Structures are given as structure tokens and as C-alpha cells.
Amino acid sequence: MFHPPPLSIMFSAGESSGDQHAANMFLELKKHQPDIKGFGMGGAKMALAGIDIRYDSGSIGVIGVVEVLKHYSEIRRALKLIQQLVSTERPDLLVCVDYKEFNLKLARFAKQCGVKVLFYVSPQVWAWRPGRVKTYGKAIDMMAVIFPFETTYYDAENVPVRYVGHPSVDKVHPQRSRLEDMAIFNLDENNPVIGLLPGSRANEINRLLPIMLAAAEILQARIPGIQFMLPQADSISDELLESYMCQSLVKITVIKNQPYDVIQCCDVVMTTSGTATIEIALLNVPMVITYKLAALTYWLGRWLVNTPFIGLPNIILGKGFIKELIQYEATSENLAEEIQRILTDKFYADQMRDNLNQVKQQLGHGGGSKNMAELALEIMK
């Protein structure tokens, strides 16, 4: 009796969040199709899920024009290697996860090879270059979007699109109750807890952690008993963190592999922009968003981007209810001032929590990874 070969699916994820999304999707795929084979570019989470990693993307997970230029030769080498994989392995489906420009080039190549392409996480066409909808439409078989309002842009250009839900809704769940975590992390319930989320990329740590640590020193001088926590991203080495922490006068408790337990213990969080802001919103914790880029990248961004906000919760609700301290405003004094306001102005903090609840409602009930797995099987079969 003839048995068809197992389905083969290739993934291309260039950043930490994409690594997580691909891993979760593949775990769901295996529930439907236990013998499915996964391979491609990614990181530790994808490997743990059973995906055969042919290229570790840790060295190319950078953001910004200047940063990309610095890593250009390695990014180009990675693209050639992954394109070669597409042509030699001929997967039943290529899933490109985020990492927009790299994956657009890869998707075009796959199309030429006759390989179907599912793109997961749309480029932010609502923020800048909406014309990219047509560009991506020519290179893919389906765009899977994670915000409900994004489908409108693709429907308008007749590009196949499916809203699958935001993946964070499913995964943002602490392992324990807040009371249990407070005891385990040795935190005093009578004193405020501040979270520091300096990012999951080395260049973010280099730019933002010194500012956050300086803000922590200011706050420690103003608020007796204040406590600080830092959930360490698995893409950040101990050595890099320690190189900054050892210079700080503030005691900061660093916790690995338990980001949501750490965040739920916090009264307020200072964070980078990006997916982290959605995760903090889902846990209903007030925050201040900060970000710094190379001067050239920031200047180009100001010229190209047509949204007034960079924080996803602000973008989703269409109003700046969370303070954004970007580039020249990203100072330790400004950070400390906003943290102090959230801690001392109850009305302000409660309003922020109400808005965060609205963000959570907009993101829906989850099922993103399951929906992605079902969509992939639908395309393959």
C-alpha cells in the first residue's frame, strides 16, 4: 500500500519573537500531523519544538538602517543559504515569520521555485508604505495578520489574507499567582515593584539599559524601599547584562524564563516598544515606552512613518494613553518622572489600566498558533 511522504514545512524567522511564533505554530501542527517535518532558520525555541535549525538567526536579529548595514554581509550570507535550502529541499510550504525585508526576498525566490508561501505577521502597512501590500501580494500565497484591522488593507488590493489572532494572547499566562510570585521572588508587598524590559536584541540593551539603570538610581533616591526586577530575554547573554549591571548602584533582581510572572508582580514597567508592550498590556500593568535608534535610522523613520505612535497599545486604540519617550526624550530623568507619576497619581494609573483592558478586548480570545497551523495545512493540502 502506498504511503505519501510526510509533509515538509520550512520556516524563516529572524528575530526572537518570530522564533517563538514559529515554535508555537509547529507544536500545533504536530497535533494535527504528528509526522510533519519542519526545518529552516530560527533559534532555540524552534529547535526545542522539534524544528531542524539549519541557520541560527541569533546573529542577524537587528533593527534599524545603520544596524542592518553593519550586519549586511552576514544577512546576505544567511539569505543565500536559506534560498539554497528552498531550491534543494522543495518544502510543501514556506512560512515566513515577520523579519519583513529579508523574508520578502525569500518569498519572491520561493515563488519562482514553485513553493507556496504563507507570510505570518504583516508589515506595518498602516504605519508606512501602504503600497507594500501589492508588493507582498505578488510574492505570497496568503498573508496571516495578527490585528483585525489589518485585513482591510489586503482586501482592498485583492491579496489573500486571514486574520489569525495575536499569538501573545495565548502565551501570556503567568505560571503562578501574583502572591506566590511575590514570595518566590522575595518581594515586599508594601513597597512598589518596577520592571525593566530593555529588549531582546543586543543593540537595544546597549542603547536602553544604561538609561533604565540611571532612571532606577533616581527613583531609588526618591522612593525608599522601591524594588526592581528585570526578566532576561533568552536571546541576551549573561555577560552582556552583567557588563552594565555591575556598574549600577541599584539592586536589580534578574529572572530568566519567567517574563510573565515577573511582569505581573510589577506596579509599573519601563519597556522598549514592540511585542513586549502587548504582553504587558495583556497583564494589565501600567507602563512607559522608550526607544532609541541610530541617528540616521531615526531620521529616516521620522520621514517615512505616518503614524503618531510607536507603541502598539497606543496604535490599537488610536490615542497616546501610554507615554512614549523616543530618541532625544529617552532620558533617565524623563523615565523616572513618568514612573513616579504612575506610582503616585492613582487616577492616572487607573485610567491607563482601563485603556489596557480595552486593548485586551480588541485582541480577542486567542488561538493564533492553532489558527496558523490549520491555515498552513489548508494551503498544503
Q: Tell me the pLDDT tens digit for each residue of 133-170.
A: 999 999 999 999 998 888 999 999 999 999 999 888 98
Query: What total of structural domains would you count in the chain?
Result: 2
Could you tell me which residue, 123 or 196, shows the higher pLDDT?
196
Q: How far, in Å, CA of 169 to CA of 95, rounded?
A: 21
DSSP-derived letter for residue 7 is P
Question: Are 141 and 197 in the same domain?
Answer: no
Query: What pLDDT score does 126 carry?
Result: 67
Range of the domain at 356: 178-363
Regarding whether 314 and 239 lie in a shared domain, the answer is: yes
Are residues 115 and 190 part of one domain? no
For residue 233, what pLDDT band results from cuts at 50, 70 and 90?
confident
Residue 42 pLDDT > 60: yes
Q: Average pLDDT for residues 262-287, to the nearest whole number?
A: 96
153 and 259 share one domain: no
Q: In this structure, are 138 and 277 located in the same domain?
A: no
Q: Which H or E element spans position 94?
A: strand 93-97
CATH classification of the domain holding 127: 3.40.50.2000
In this structure, the answer to whether residues 280 and 311 fall within a common structural domain is yes
Residue 2 within a domain: no
> Is residue 173 assigned to a domain?
no
Residue 170 within a domain? no
Q: Are residues 153 and 265 in the same domain?
A: no
Look at the block and give the residue holding cell 489596557. 356
Closest CA to 163 of 177, 143, 184, 135: 143
Mean pLDDT of 41-63: 87
* Residue 193, domain member (yes or no): yes
Structural domain includes residue 149:
yes
pLDDT value of residue 202: 84
Cell 529588549 belongs to residue? 199
Q: What is the structure's pLDDT at 337?
A: 98
pLDDT above 80 (res 68): no
Same domain as 202, residue 159: no
Q: Is this model's pTM higher than 0.85 or not?
A: no
User: Does the residue 1 lie in any domain?
Assistant: no
Provide the mean pLDDT of the chain: 90
Same domain, 61 and 88: yes
Residues 129 and 224 in one domain: no
Statement: residue 210 has pLDDT above 70: yes
Q: Which three cell numbers stand for residue 288?
A: 512607559
97 and 193 co-located in one domain: no
Q: Which amino acid is at 58?
A: G
Q: Are residues 149 and 182 in the same domain?
A: no
